[in-house]
Amino acid sequence: MNYYITSQGQTYTDLGELVVMQDNHPTFLAYLSFLHTDGTVLIYPGIHPSEAQEIAVEDEYCKYLKRKADGESAYLKISAKLRVSKLGGLINDEEHIAVESAIEPVRAEIVLGQWIGGKQKLEAIGSEIIGENFYNELLTIITSYIDENY
């Protein structure tokens, strides 16, 4: 059996099994035995496939955290714009409530970092209830975000 150390510092057997670096773990004991018999540990070129999966998951997780934070911020700006429109007399209370209710599914997606899902929900809602200008503004915000971050 051969052992390999990857660029990420993990040790694997040539069968792809991770050596768990705990005193009583069987893979660690076998690894120690190998070292005590003058075994040579090889350097694995690049990242081991199992590490690549872990790195990809962590990378995607970080992207979701960013998308979620960006979604919360974007939606707060949209809500502020609606409130200012209401306070300025551009829309009345009923219109404000109707627009907020209509875009609720979009908000639910965006604040969870699901921008593509938010765009799909917005397209399904259309512009009839929320108005063509507001619809186009939201669509531009969401589409631009998707283009820049996905």
Q: What is the per-residue pLDDT across 50-69, written as a single tens digit (0 to 9) for each?
A: 777 777 788 899 999 999 99
Residue 19 and residue 77: Cα distance in Å, rounded? Answer: 50
Residues 19 and 66 in one domain: no
Q: Residue 13: is it exposed, middle or buried by C-beta count within 10 angstroms (0-12/13-18/19+)?
A: middle
Supply the range of the domain harboring residue 122.
49-149
Residues 79 and 132 in one domain: yes
Residues 24 and 67 in one domain: no
Q: Three-state DSSP class for 69?
A: helix
Residues 71 and 37 in one domain: no
The confidence band for 2, taking pLDDT boundaries of 50, 70 and 90, is confident
Residues 10 and 24 in one domain: yes
- The domain tally of the chain equals 2
Token pair of 124 as six digits: 């399904």
pTM higher than 0.85: no
Q: What is the pLDDT of residues 23-42, one digit of tens each?
A: 899 988 888 888 888 777 76
Q: Residue 127: is it exposed, middle or buried by C-beta count within 10 angstroms (0-12/13-18/19+)?
A: middle
